[in-house]
Chain A
Amino acid sequence: MSEQTTAAPGVRPATGRLRSANSTRAIHGQRRAFWLFIAPFLIGLVVFVYFPIAWSAFLSFFDAQGTVTPTKFVGLGNYTTMLTDKAFVSSLVTFSAFALLIVPTTFVMSLFLAMLVNRVRVARAFFRSVFFLPTACSYVVASLIWKLSIFNGVRFGMANTLLGWIGVEPISWLASLDPPWYWLVIVTARLWLQAGFYMILFLAALQNINPELYEAAYVDGAKPGWQVFRHITLPLLRPTSISVLLLCLIAAYQAFDEFYNLLGAVEYARPPLVYLYHLALGSQQNFGLGSAGSLILAAIIAVVTVLQGKILGFGKPGD
């Protein structure tokens, strides 16, 4: 390409005409190639992402029980039903509480593990693998281990066995509302599953920090430990920290698997997706209400994501 361009001024007019015919053909070829490359994805995006949302918006204005081609228009009825539905509103509260619990704990745990692994001199790859290994587990498998073994409410559950050794009566971890022990079960399961993932991100960032900065801080009299961490490490990790917080929050929005498998459909801890699942795919098959709920949730998430991006100075497209 570049050779042709530099040669261009020297060529005679006849060749110039040929070139422009060539380049028109080239542009046609280019446009055709663009569509050929992008068409499979674009068609799928329209059919399986944009069209469902549009159809859902349509359904949300109809009484659509057990049908996806409804005839009874109800206007904003589904939206007012959902927004005044105590169960739906409480699911939004559950989900906010969950985000408040899981995001900071994951952040602290993954950063803590990354710093430990980063400074250890022996068997670093081994430790990294151990903390990363749960990434290979599904939420279903973790729920199974947590529900039926670690936090089994009967006497032979692991946590209850340990408590038994110090003379504490067995606790029914998932059924107890006061204190709400189920949060311990839910949060530790996800913490175990995802801490290693975020640890990898922090580890990569830590290894990019120039060691000379620490030496300079030492020479300037900064005490190793908290001072160095607070004034050197943490500021340098800022971009990664923001990524981790956002990714963690986005993952928390989608909480379904562990709630569904650990708690079923109990009313005291039912995040929106679990509620919508039972509404739209349970015996009611209420696609109208389910669609309205999905769209309300999507709108909330989109607003929060944009606001968060603005506040944290993140999320400009293309960088």
Chain B
Amino acid sequence: MDAHQPTAVGYRRSVTDRIANGAGLAVLLVMTLLFLIPFYLLIRNGLASTKDITAPGWTLFPRDVQWHNLVDLFNDPEVPMLSSLRNSAIVAVLTTAGTLLVCSLAGYALARINHPHSNKIFYAVLATLMIPGAVTFVPSFVIVSWLGWVSDYRGLIIPALFSGFTVFLFRQYFLSFPKELEEAARIDGLGYGGTFWRIVVPNSGNFIAAIAVITFIQSWNAFLWPLVVAQDESAWTVQVTLSTFITAQTINIPQLFMAAAVSILPLVLVFVFLQRYLVQGVAQTGLKG
């Protein structure tokens, strides 16, 4: 009896398991299809002609693929595609580099350098986490316009560098950094700067990469702040350009979808090649809201 029971139970369990697994897999496949539809539409509409899209019935894929949509997009004098891609790239790269520099130094100071005011400053950083940055865009715009940074890279980049949340993440990370490494460096005669740059930073590659990927994606996809600051067409980021044509009266649908597909390409590449860091970054940012 006793010898039989486990196998009987094990058998029953494996049958229900198998059914549950099969059902789970089926649901997963359906969800996969649903989640991929928007990407499918991006490509289908981007490579179609207007006639294909507006035709009655549904063409699964354009009968003759309009590769020239891509060329037209960059040749259209009405659409500042090239300049807005360039603006987005410059803004995202500099925002990422600046955020990493400013926030890692501050996070390190708060985690590792004793100072009587350290706690007060940390609370001043935490207080900013209660109010989402987007809510204070009116005040921030007031300062930026007073500084004369409207439609200027400085206005797009500099106010975005001082993220209390990123400082918080760096502080938490540095608190768990092995102290022995730093102490060894200090004994070898390195000061705080030397320890940070030669020991701490080179040994924190994964964490820094994770924060970098997250910051880059956020910056590339940012919309409200660029919409507020980049008022001249020459300063538009790619999101502002896309938005302008979504809300425009006359829309060239295939061209707009092609533009959207081009705009997500850099992030899809980041996604494919740096997914490890991205997943890690998400897990880090989510550990503590």
Interface residues of A (CB under 8 A from B): 1-3, 29-31, 33-34, 36-38, 40-42, 44-45, 47-53, 55-56, 59, 68, 113, 116-117, 119-122, 127, 129-150, 154-156, 158, 161, 192, 196-198, 200-201, 204, 218, 224-225, 240, 243-244, 246-247, 250, 253-254, 256-257, 260-261, 264, 273, 276-277, 280-281, 287, 290-291, 293-294, 297-298, 301-302, 305-306, 314, 317-319
Contacts and interface: CB of A to CB of B under 8 A. Distances in A.
Interface in B246-279: 246-247, 251, 253, 256-257, 260, 263-264, 267-268, 270-271, 275, 278-279
A38 B106 contact: yes
Contacts of B134: 253-254, 256, 273
Interface of B, helix, strand, loop or mixed by DSSP: helix
Given A148-B246, A204-B283, A56 B270 contact: no
Contact of A133 (B13, B39, B137, B196): B39
A36 B191 CA distance: 12
B223 A145 contact: no
A129 B39 CA distance: 13
Contacts of B268: 133, 136
B229 to A, nearest CB: 10
19 contacts: A30-B114, A36-B192, A37-B192, A48-B159, A56-B136, A68-B142, A116-B28, A120-B28, A130-B32, A140-B223, A141-B242, A148-B253, A150-B41, A156-B53, A224-B16, A250-B132, A260-B223, A297-B135, A317-B123
Contacts, number: 289
Contacts of B260: 140-141, 144-145
Contact of B121 (A38, A133, A254): A38
B109 A44 contact: no
B124 A45 contact: yes
B108 A37 contact: yes
B239 interface: yes
Contact of A33 (B118, B138, B193): B193
Question: Nearest 9 CB-CB pairs, A to B?
Answer: A52-B139, A56-B139, A41-B106, A138-B221, A37-B109, A44-B162, A33-B192, A136-B267, A254-B134
